[in-house]
């Protein structure tokens, strides 16, 4: 990928210059408390490098899915507070995105100062399907930072054609941030000259979310492990009854096709051999480990079982490259976190190049208290990672290459 990067911008000199940084600060919240600050910490290096070089750093980001208008539930105030704590300097939050509050805050920003604009998705133009609307917002963001530059550092949104990701790169001189470059470098190792055996473990709730990536991976991997809620559609496709477990009946034909394709290509497709079958979806639901051939009609699988956890760990042990995306069960409930823990621990023990594909998988690593440095890379963007591995062009990356 031939794009201008953060080092190029710093080499040009940024003292006293505005730099608009698109970060991914979409953190999970419990009320106003951040429960996992991984994305905030991942955004820090680029912001800090620019501030230390004397730039006037204006950060834009989204949080949650507001309906294109201000919503106090999705204010970036908790993020501004955490950024302030981590940077050790004040990070004021504008009361709006491109309005009077933002203009006043940005115009008064000192060299080396950092300011955060309010949630970019409070403006409906950010995610509009109309390119004219998005371009209008991009122009207003650029007007906030006269003579400025744009740094794309929110890897978790580069698969979105949105104003602060795509159109803005056509208005301001655009540069790839360190985080985006690092993520793309890792993904290239999963697609070009991959060290084998190459094993992918996929989980999560719906197989429909991963149709494209499964189809593409079946042409590239040596072994594919399927867990999580999506496993029950695979088990049903093999003729097993799955009780009240999550099932996408409309995907059964597609999944049967995947099973046939895997066999044809010699890809080992590994499914659970037992599951934890629970009486209901609850942290304290009564449950037992049952063989996949004997899931009771009135029970739902909420995790892979202990034999499956052992099997999956074995199937990861000899890998040279591993990509993992999606939990093996409802890891948020302690009773049903065992399968996800087994996969994560197998990766920690492995000598392979191991990549955790963002989203719930990254959250699980931190919630389970596993060492983050036990993995080669923990991505900040699950959706972007999957679309890259699916073979899709990422609009935010295409924009940096001048394709917008």
Annotated binding site for (2R)-3-phosphoglycerate: 39, 121, 160
With contact defined as beta carbons under 8 Å apart, do 18 and 63 qualify? no
What is the per-residue DSSP string for 72-84?
GGG-SHHHHHHHH
Q: Output DSSP code: residue 5.
A: B
Residues tagged in the binding site annotation? 24-26, 39, 62-65, 121, 160, 210, 301, 332, 358-361
Per the residue annotation, which of 99, 178, 383, 391 is the catalytic one?
Answer: 383
Give the number of other CB atoms < 10 A from CB of residue 342: 22
Cα–Cα distance for residue pair 316/322, rounded to 1 Å = 8
Q: Note whether 63 and 26 are within 8 A (CB).
A: yes
| Strand ranges, E, within 9-144 | 18-22, 29-30, 33-34, 56-60, 114-116
DSSP β-ladder status, 174-176 and 149-152:
parallel
Active site residue 403: no
Q: Is the peptide bond before 396 cis (omega within 30 degrees of 0)?
A: no
Residue ranges of the annotated binding site for ATP are: 210, 301, 332, 358-361
E strands, 48-202, in order: 56-60, 114-116, 149-152, 174-176, 198-202
Indicate if 68 belongs to the active site.
no
Number of separate helices (H) and strands (E) present in the chain = 14, 16
Tell me which of 17, 22, 38, 39 is the catalytic residue.
39
- Decide if 161 is catalytic: no
| Active-site position among 41, 103, 206, 220 | 206
Q: Are strands 321-325 and 198-202 parallel, antiparallel or unpaired?
A: parallel
Residue in 244, 239, 240, 253 with CA at minimum distance from that of residue 207? 253
Residue numbers in the known binding site for substrate are: 24-26, 39, 62-65, 121, 160
Which residue among 359, 381, 382, 396 is the active-site one? Answer: 359
Q: Report d(CA 112, CA 175) in Å as an integer.
A: 19
Per the annotation, the verdict on 39 as an active-site residue is yes
| Helix axis angle, 359-367 to 38-52, nearest 10° | 100
CB 397: neighbour CB atoms within 10 A? 24
Beta pairing, strands 56-60 & 377-378: unpaired
Phi first, then psi: what are they for 102, rounded to 5°?
Answer: -65, -45
Q: For strands 56-60 and 114-116, give the pairing.
A: parallel
**Residues forming the active site:** 39, 206, 359, 383
């Amino acid at each position: 990928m031939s794009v201008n990067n953060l080092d190029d911008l710093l080499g040009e000199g940024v003292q006293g210059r505005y730099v608009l940084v698109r970060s991914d600060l979409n953190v999970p919240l419990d009320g106003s408390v951040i429960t996992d600050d991984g994305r905030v910490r991942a955004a820090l290096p680029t912001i800090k490098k620019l501030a230390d070089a004397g730039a006037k750093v204006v950060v834009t980001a989204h949080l949650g899915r507001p309906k294109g208008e201000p919503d106090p539930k999705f204010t970036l105030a908790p993020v501004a507070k955490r950024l302030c704590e981590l940077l050790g300097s004040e990070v004021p939050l504008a009361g709006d995105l491109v309005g009077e509050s933002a203009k006043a805050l940005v115009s008064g920003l000192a060299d080396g100062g950092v300011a955060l604009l309010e949630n970019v998705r409070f403006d409906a133009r950010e995610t509009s399907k109309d390119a004219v609307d998005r371009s209008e917002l991009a122009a207003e963001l650029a007007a906030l930072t006269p003579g400025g530059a744009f740094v794309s550092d929110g890897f978790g949104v580069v698969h979105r054609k949105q104003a602060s990701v795509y159109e803005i790169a056509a208005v301001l001189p655009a540069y790839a941030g360190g985080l985006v470059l690092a993520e793309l470098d890792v993904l290239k190792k999963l697609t070009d000259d991959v060290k084998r055996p190459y094993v992918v473990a996929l989980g999560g709730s719906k197989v429909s979310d991963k149709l494209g990536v499964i189809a593409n991976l079946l042409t590239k991997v040596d072994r594919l492990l399927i867990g999580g809620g999506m496993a029950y559609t695979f088990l049903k496709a093999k003729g097993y009854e799955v009780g009240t477990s999550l099932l996408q009946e409309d995907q059964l034909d597609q999944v049967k096709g995947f099973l046939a394709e895997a066999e044809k290509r010699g890809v080992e497709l590994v499914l659970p051999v037992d599951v934890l079958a629970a009486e209901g979806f609850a942290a304290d639901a009564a449950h037992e480990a049952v063989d996949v051939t004997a899931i009771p009609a009135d029970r739902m699988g909420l995790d892979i079982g202990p034999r499956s956890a052992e099997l999956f760990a074995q199937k990861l042990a000899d890998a040279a490259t591993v990509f993992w995306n999606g939990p093996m069960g409802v890891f948020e409930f302690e009773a049903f976190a065992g399968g996800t823990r087994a996969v994560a621990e197998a990766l920690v023990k492995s000598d392979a190049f191991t990549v955790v594909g963002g989203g719930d998988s990254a959250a699980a690593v931190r919630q389970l208290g596993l060492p983050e440095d036990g993995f080669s890379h923990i991505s900040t963007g699950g959706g972007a990672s999957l679309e890259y591995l699916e073979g899709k062009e990422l609009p935010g990356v295409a924009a940096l290459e001048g394709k917008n």
